[in-house]
Amino acid sequence: MEFIEGHYQAVVIGAGHAGCEAALALARTGIKTAMLTLNLDSIAFMACNPSIGGTAKGQIVREIDALGGEMGINADKALLQIRILNRGKGAAVQSLRGQEDKNLYHRLMKKTLEETENLRILQGEAAEILTDGKKVTGVRTAFGGVLYCSKVVVATGVYLNGRVIAGEWSAPSGPSGFQPATLLTENLMNLGFTVRRFKTGTPARVDGRTIDFSRLEVQEGEKNVYPFSFMSEGVPAVQKPCYLTYTTEETHRIIRENLHRSPLFSGTIKGTGPRYCPSIEDKVVRFADKDRHQLFLEPEGADTHEVYVQGLSTSLPHDVQRDMYRTIKGLENCEIMRYAYAIEYDCIDSLDLYPSLEYKKIEGLYTAGQINGTSGYEEAAAQGLMAGLNASLSLRGKDPLILGRDEAYIGVLIDDLVTKGTNEPYRMMTSRAEHRIVLRQDDPDFRLTEKGRGAGLVSDERYERFLKRKEEYLCAKAQSEIKYKPKETEKLLKKHGFNTANTALSAADLVRRAIPFSEIAECLGGYEGVSARTLETVETDALYSGYLEKERELIEKQRKYEEKLLPDDTDYLSIKGLRLEARQKLDKIRPKNLGQAGRISGVSPADITVLMVYLRTKK
């Protein structure tokens, strides 16, 4: 007899960073939702580094927040330390990175989910996604219970057939000892997904009481920075330090002498690993000319002595790990509390998805996070929010929210996945965004909050804060364009080595002469009561105004291609003039417009010209 677990509009499978954002986006927009997780203790668990943000990732967290997501709010509440990376570079590549109390972050997110209206949390394993052949109808659990629904978001992280490996030892497992999900992969394959095997890893956790911090370089946090969320008032006044150290020649010798025991080189590991976050044995082999590699010692929480050794990910045997770690300055007498490991897991080919993250072959089935081939908490959370929100919009009879590459890093991330695909764990970097000068981390609310509001996810309180900041910004920007007589700016110009101006200059003009806005405001006045966040945005806009103008002209030209829609029923295989490779790629990916078509690997400018002619003839 069938056991009916319940009737819902949507079910989210998984409660990692993607699953949490997906469930909240659905429930907060009025959708009756159930979230299914293997273990309630793994909700929003940080299986790897105890941090949120980083290069390009900090921008994503602030974009999630601007759209009405949760990651930034809880990251601010669980902060141990926060810094802005790339301070010495331009504003376009500066990114927030926060050290987090990982246990507190888990508890905060679990409480948020529990107290969210329209959301039920259920512990159990998803065994099968039920369909009628074309549409989702529900989810069956390993216990035999059925949750009926018309939308499913699969956010299984690295749990699908997870296998943990360290040296000669391996065992079926999810991250950090949690159980793996062993039943769903076969069902996904039966539904037509292309399933692949990826690999990631994590360093050891060391007992901080056995580290000699006095011998290490201290990395302090910053207090005069804004937090991740626009809903947060500020950052902690008291922050925990991190520490910097390095591998040694002895470290490298031990690694080289034990490469035959490394599953990475012995062939035990079959999955494809991350290019931009390699294990230490991989770095020692690939960069044999380097005599040391940088490591960061990061606290795992305020209530634990565990310390995360950033940069020393490995899958070497435990005895080798112990000897290797003790060759590092400050760690000579360290005791390992959790050994490092690699983990292999199943994921899908993201080219099987629409830009809404809906599966092309089954209506109502969405995927988000590491199952799509990405790595990183932030990338997962962004996809979860977009998948959940688009499932909600569909249930409400509205068009999906598709962010452009010129609108958000989230747009770049998803477009890369569904247009170019990935053959290795995908990590977001500033270099992937061609319009990063307009995707800065200081202004995502101006770019995205109206969109989040239109989709029904931005609350009244958040929207009121946004409108207030927008008004403040517009007033401050107008003030920055007011011209001052040469006599009024003479003192400031001389201080910075400039001659007295012959014409009137505005605050924006002075910023372009590399004069700090804080000094300009103090000298000329007019910005009383304006927040430091807003002044920073005004200053950055003024400093890069020429580049921003050129960038917007380029975006406008490219947008014309985005507006040329390709009919869903286009028979690419029969279009004469297209090269064979282009026909096959276009037929598989089925781009929504000419802009997306032009970004497909294997589609040339000549092929785009053919498509333009084809569209004209169709009209």
Sequence-distant (≥ 6) Cβ neighbours of residue 214 within 8 angstroms: none
Which fold, 564-618? Answer: DNA polymerase; domain 1 (1.10.150)
Residue 541 in contact with residue 442, Cβ under 8 Å?
A: no
Does the pLDDT value for residue 126 go beyond 70?
yes
What gap in Å lies between CA 619 and CA 610, rounded to an integer? 14
Q: Output the CA angle 351-154-459, nearest 5 degrees.
A: 105
Residue 31 in contact with residue 10, Cβ under 8 Å?
A: yes
Q: Kindly report, as residue ranges, where domains of CATH 2.40.30.260 are found in the chain.
A: 205-344
The architecture CATH gives domain 205-344:
Beta Barrel (2.40)
Ramachandran region, residue 460 (left: φ > 0; alpha: ψ -120 to 50; beta: rest): alpha
Average pLDDT over residues 370-397: 98
Q: How confident is the model at residue 113 (pLDDT cuts 50, 70, 90)?
A: very high
Percentage of the chain beyond pLDDT 70 is 100
Reading the block at residue 539, the tokens are 């200053």
CA nearest neighbour of 379 among 425, 419, 447: 425
Residue 302's pLDDT is 96
Does the pLDDT value for residue 357 go beyond 70?
yes
What gap in Å lies between CA 234 and CA 528, rounded to an integer? 19
CA nearest neighbour of 281 among 307, 309, 251, 310: 251
pLDDT tens-place string over residues 561-586:
999 999 989 999 999 899 999 999 99
Average pLDDT over residues 466-475: 96
Residue 522's pLDDT is 87
What pTM value is reported for the model? 0.95
Q: Kindly report, as residue ranges, where domains of CATH 1.10.150.570 are found in the chain.
A: 564-618
Does domain 472-550 fall under CATH 1.10.490.10? My reply is no
Residue 151's pLDDT is 98
**For residue 160, what are the β-bridge partners?**
181
Mean pLDDT of the chain: 95
Residue 267's pLDDT is 86
Q: How confident is the model at residue 115 (pLDDT cuts 50, 70, 90)?
A: very high
Q: What Rg do the C-alpha atoms of the chain give, in angstroms?
A: 26
Q: What is the H or E stretch that residue 355 is in?
A: none
Sequence-distant (≥ 6) Cβ neighbours of residue 190 within 8 angstroms: none
pLDDT tens-place string over residues 504-530:
999 999 999 999 988 998 888 888 888
Average pLDDT over residues 275-304: 93
Ramachandran region, residue 373 (left: φ > 0; alpha: ψ -120 to 50; beta: rest): left
pLDDT tens-place string over residues 308-349:
999 999 999 999 999 999 999 999 999 999 999 999 999 999
Residue 385's pLDDT is 98
Does the pLDDT value for residue 1 go beyond 70?
no
pLDDT tens-place string over residues 253-278:
999 999 999 998 888 888 888 887 88
Reading the block at residue 499, the tokens are 């001659």
What gap in Å lies between CA 115 and CA 567, rounded to an integer? 43
